[in-house]
Structure 1
Amino acid sequence: MTITPRRTRLIATDLDGTLLCDGGTVSARTAAALAAAEAAGIQVVFVTGRPPRWMKQVSPHIGGHGVAICSNGGAVVDVRRGELLESFPLGAADTLALVQALRAELPGVAFAFEHPRGWAREPGYELRMWGDDVQHDVAPAEELLADGRVAGLFKLLAKHPTLEPDTFLAAARRAAGHLAEITRSAPVAMVEISARGVTKASTLASWCAEQGIDRTEVVAFGDMPNDLEMLAWAGTSYAVANAHPDVLAAVAQHTFSNDQDGVAAVLEQLIEQR
């Protein structure tokens, strides 16, 4: 692990698999490092695939601004106030085209929808993730799209019952990559779909421009394919040791795993250098 000397004004970090321990918690060391970074004048922004509704447990660590970039760039949220500040939604027509393209090429696929009022899913979309059991609409995708129940969609999710995760991602991109941004972050065969041009990088770049922060002043951390664009955009980037092989190959600098407080280790050195 090395530190590239330069002025750092913003830390952009993924959550699950990167900043958080495998149980989804913030370790005492990481919490202290985040607080120290903020105290040193370094802004910390969580840039995550999580939907806004999954952000309450990390609210105490979010920093003075209170803002997180969620749903792979699809939503900018004031976590403390529970307020949607900005979104980059998938339109109903585009989403229907995605659903049809993926159904045609990948029989057995099932869909779920993250939107401003919560989430919804098809009957065949299995409940496996934390928070999936909250009250939500269950109906075929075409019905949910037609009646507007998922209007303002941050992210479309698709699961396949038999394919290996990276195989599913590649197949989904072949079938519908011309219609949207398709990536993944989960250990199961689930892909995450955003509007064309909407990634963690695109929304982070907009946030930094509003703050007057240049990309060379950003240090980013990630572990999965949905982090690749952000890691390529930031002036300095780190892959945690437990990252997906594609991320480890694409990012020159590595730090310790999430369970070994890899993000905190870098932050501590950055703060010491200041």
Structure 2
Amino acid sequence: MEQPRLVASDVDGTLLTPREEVSPRTAGVVGRVLAADVPFVLATGRPPRWVPKIAEQAGLDGLAVCANGAVLYDIGRDEIIWAHTLDPVRLGDIVAAIDAALPDCTYAVERVGGVHDDATFIAELSYSHPWPEGPNVGLSRAETLGFPATKLLVRHTGMTSGEMAAGIGEVLDGQVDVTYSTNNGLVELAVHGVTKATGLADVAERLGVDRRDVIAFGDMPNDVEMLTWAGHGVAMANGHEVALAAADEVTAPNSEDGVAQVLERWF
């Protein structure tokens, strides 16, 4: 590949170290990418409200594809450009179908809201977080599912995410997109056809960059579409087997600045 004209990177397990930090080496190469007038785009499962801290560490103020492609966020302007949402009726139907097949699931949603609105994450009181998060806001399932959401999170503490995704995929049969970024009993559902790849394709079109000139980095099943869409997809050595299989190249793990090691070829 020639020097890429657009760089896209997943955040957790990819750009960040295992301590959830942007290392000095990685921050340095990000700076050189930007100095060469090449956009560096975050493409993450995180909602927009979790992006500014990472962007500050990396020195980024451009566009970020958030919520697995459901939201496009302008970091510098602190503004959501667009969002794809599941409406309350659709959410209710999905949850009913999942409950019939996988009992004991609990639910949470990410709503659009404002970037700094604490009420964008709503969860049932019985929902347990697989990562640090604030207290649950929802008082009931009806309240949790009562407004449009960019992402439905389904939690089952007795199953792996892979097992959940397989079961939910059978029940919903392509009605929504099912993916996961951790194997700790959590899957994420979005509008059918919405992935990091579709979000990144919109960014590339806005910037006038052909997909062949895009390099993308990722490590989990929610990165697969992006890795295959980009001209050159790079998986982290610490990544899930499906990400490794989808990539054109495997780099060092995030603990060894794998993203920086690849980008240093050109920057």
Given the two structures, how large is their TM-score scaled by the length of structure 1?
Answer: 0.90
Give distance in 2, aligned partners of 1:59 and 1:19.
11
Q: Work out whether 1:144 is the aligned partner of 2:144.
A: yes
Residue 250 of structure 1 aligns with which residue? 246
Residue 195 of structure 1 aligns with which residue? 191
Choose which of 100, 106, 111 in structure 2 pairs with 1:110.
106
Give distance in 2, aligned partners of 1:244 and 1:256.
13
Residue 116 of structure 2 aligns with which residue? none
Residue 155 of structure 1 aligns with which residue? 151
Gaps of 5+ in 1: none
% identical aligned pairs = 36
Give distance in 2, aligned partners of 1:192 and 1:68.
18
Residue 86 of structure 1 aligns with which residue? 82
Residue 117 of structure 2 aligns with which residue? none
Give distance in 1, aligned partners of 2:262 and 2:90.
41
The residue identity in structure 1 corresponding to 2:124 is: E
Deviation string, structure 1 residues 172-201 (Cα, Å, up to 9, x no partner): 111124220000001301001110111000
Q: Could you say what secondary structure the match of 1:101 adopts? A: helix
The residue identity in structure 2 corresponding to 1:246 is: V
Residue 165 of structure 1 aligns with which residue? 161
1:84 CA displacement = 1.0
* Residues 15-94 of structure 1 aligned to structure 2 (within 5 Å): 15-61=11-57, 65-94=61-90
Given the two structures, how large is their TM-score scaled by the length of structure 2?
Answer: 0.93
Corresponding pairs, count: 261
Residue 129 of structure 1 aligns with which residue? 131
1:50 CA displacement = 0.4
Deviation string, structure 1 residues 64-104 (Cα, Å, up to 9, x no partner): 65221100011111224431111111122221111111111
Gaps of 5+ in 2: 114-119
Deviation string, structure 1 residues 107-140 (Cα, Å, up to 9, x no partner): 001110111231100122103323x215x52233
The residue identity in structure 1 corresponding to 2:25 is: R
Choose which of 119, 122, 141 in structure 2 pairs with 1:120.
122
1:245 CA displacement = 1.1
Residue 240 of structure 1 aligns with which residue? 236
Give distance in 2, aligned partners of 1:228 and 1:64.
24
Q: Could you say what secondary structure the match of 2:265 adopts? A: helix
Q: Work out whether 1:183 is the aligned partner of 2:183.
A: no
1:18 CA displacement = 0.6
1:62 CA displacement = 5.5
- What's the RMSD between the two structures over aligned residues? 1.6
- Whether the 8 Å contact between 2:55 and 2:61 is mirrored in structure 1 is no
- Whether the 8 Å contact between 1:70 and 1:77 is mirrored in structure 2 is yes
Give distance in 2, aligned partners of 1:51 and 1:243.
21
